[in-house]
Structure 1
Amino acid sequence: MKDPALASSSRLGGAVISDRVVASLLEELSNGRYAQADRLPAEVDLATELGVSRTVIRDALSEMERAGYVERVRGIGTVVNRAVLGLRSRLDQKLEYYPLIRSFGSYPHADGIQVMLLRAGEEMAHALALEVGDEVICIKKRILADTTPVIYSIDYLPRSLFGNRDYTRIDLTGDIFEILEQECHQQISSNVAHLKASCGDEAIRAAMRLAPGEAMLLLDEVCFNRLCKPVMRSLSYYTNFFDFSILRKLL
């Protein structure tokens, strides 16, 4: 039966429809008609069921295979990897704080939000392809799960992304990926991340209520748009509230 959400989006571009097909299939694999299946139906059957073209199905399955949810095996079909489907916090995928915290059964919210204008030093200028001294907007906030601090986030955005607009009149307190898309018309397509243990400075330690000697996982990322241009540097300090996984595909 045709998915109404997919049918209503038939006028949209192929990439948008493909993304929705992926979301629909992942939901069906987790909680729907394919919840017990070890393989997905053939492409032609999926296209009929979802009311989309085989090209869209093929693109969606390719994306799911890259993410490790399925493997397409010649002569066998599309095999489901149940172990990967069960992973809820993967460092090899885009991490959005609020959905991640909700997956642990907690209520996410932010406080202690600070927005300030800085000048790029050599390291920041290099990371964001700026000139030393260029303006950078810095957004700091603490993320809580219920009443427990679990993430300290520091995001750096080139001031130039906002053009001539007064950034102080823009709400910069929400999801940073949505801010980039809605306010700067920038869609993140990839990032380069460095992981390390970090104790954080005294201000961060106090905000996160860390015990003496307790360290955090620091995810230091530079995010790139579809033109492969850096548009954000993000420092995310995670407490041991989280248990992360990384999928490593051997090709």
Structure 2
Amino acid sequence: MRDSSLSPSSRLGGAVISDRIVSALLEELRTGRYAQTDRLPAEVDLAAELSVSRTVIRDALSEMERAGYIERVRGIGTVVNRSVLNLRSRLDQKLEYYPLIRSFGSYPHADGIQIYPVRAGEELARDLAIEPGDDVICIKKRILADTTPVIYSIDYLPRALFGSRDYTRIDLSGDIFDVLERECRQQVASNVAHLKASCGDESIRAAMRLAPGEAMLLLDEICYNRLCHPVMRSLSYYTNFFDFSILRKLL
């Protein structure tokens, strides 16, 4: 959870109060005071309990409703959808490797990390809104759950995001969203993902220890910041270690 002293407008893409309230309410719904309830208290009561305004509570509940955790029904109140609340790996939400793997009770870590510059071809330049031939940093790594390879990741970041700094002196081995926020002051707000089955090339198959004929789920994503500008192209190959879900809201 972010430092509560930060103003919502302190920097573009910074955490806002309602984000923290959402996190707090989800924790309370899963393991805290609301773990056994099928409805949340009224907005005025939540505001008093959490020492924030009703406007903040309203914003937080709107975000939770968009995510499918709750439904606000006139005359009934705020109803909790526990089936959605208990989903661990949703493709319709931001996927961060390490928290995802921890949710399965395993220890996440990376190896085989490769970081090197490439020149953007026509497709990559179009995806990242840069010019063909511009410098791009490619980051490859294998993610393991305990000792089992579960994700092979290839990320492409425009070299310009790092300004004049020498990227070889920056630790780029950690969570890529943290790297973007910490080193580039870029917070990923949305992405467009294409899902497809993939066998991967021979080097990826060997790294992932796949059986003959075994395929992976490939998420081919372009990630955008709060100004709707692309900041990363990402290829993530997932093994069948994961059981993914997608929530489709119809109302």
Smaller-chain TM-score bracket? over 0.9
Partners of 1:85 and 1:118 in 2: CA distance: 41
Verify: 1:9 aligned to 2:20, yes or no: no
Partners of 2:93 and 2:28 in 1: CA distance: 20
- Name the residue aligned to 1:27: 27
Partners of 2:124 and 2:49 in 1: CA distance: 49
Structure 2 counterpart SS, 1:88? coil
Percentage of matched positions with identical amino acids: 83
Structure 2 unaligned blocks of 5 or more: 10-14
TM-score between both structures, scaled by the size of structure 2: 0.95
Paired AA for residue 187 in structure 1: Q
The correspondence of residues 90-169 of structure 1 with structure 2, limited to 5 A, is 90-169=90-169
Number of aligned residue pairs: give it.
Answer: 246
The correspondence of residues 174-185 of structure 1 with structure 2, limited to 5 A, is 174-185=174-185
Q: Deviations along 1:150-192, whole A, 9 cap, x unmatched?
A: 0000000000000111111110001100110011000100000
The structure 1 segments of at least 4 consecutive aligned residues displaced by more than 3 Å after TM superposition are none
Q: Deviations along 1:84-105, whole A, 9 cap, x unmatched?
A: 0010000000000001001111
Q: Deviations along 1:59-99, whole A, 9 cap, x unmatched?
A: 10000001000011111111100110010000000000001
Paired AA for residue 242 in structure 1: F
Paired AA for residue 145 in structure 1: A
Structure 2 counterpart SS, 1:95? coil
Partners of 1:181 and 1:32 in 2: CA distance: 30
Partners of 2:228 and 2:163 in 1: CA distance: 20
TM-score between both structures, scaled by the size of structure 1: 0.95
Partners of 2:124 and 2:223 in 1: CA distance: 13
Structure 1 counterpart SS, 2:160? helix
The correspondence of residues 24-103 of structure 1 with structure 2, limited to 5 A, is 24-103=24-103
Question: What's the CA shift for 1:11?
Answer: 5.4
Structure 1 counterpart SS, 2:214? coil
Question: What's the CA shift for 1:12?
Answer: 2.9
CA contact (8 A) 1:152 1:237 kept: yes
The 3 A distance-change label for structure 1 pair 10 and 117 is: closer
The 3 A distance-change label for structure 1 pair 184 and 146 is: same
Question: What's the CA shift for 1:10?
Answer: 5.5
CA contact (8 A) 1:92 1:246 kept: yes
CA contact (8 A) 1:198 1:215 kept: yes
Question: What's the CA shift for 1:36?
Answer: 1.1
Structure 1 unaligned blocks of 5 or more: none
Instruction: Name the Cα RMSD after superposition.
Output: 1.3
Structure 1 counterpart SS, 2:49? helix
Structure 2 counterpart SS, 1:188? coil
Paired AA for residue 23 in structure 1: S
Paired AA for residue 21 in structure 2: V
Q: Deviations along 1:14-70, whole A, 9 cap, x unmatched?
A: 852111110110011111111111110110100000000111101100000010000
Structure 2 counterpart SS, 1:20? helix
Verify: 1:190 aligned to 2:190, yes or no: yes
Question: What's the CA shift for 1:119?
Answer: 0.4
CA contact (8 A) 1:10 1:17 kept: no
Structure 1 counterpart SS, 2:241? coil
Paired AA for residue 110 in structure 2: A
Question: What's the CA shift for 1:141?
Answer: 0.1
- Name the residue aligned to 1:223: 223
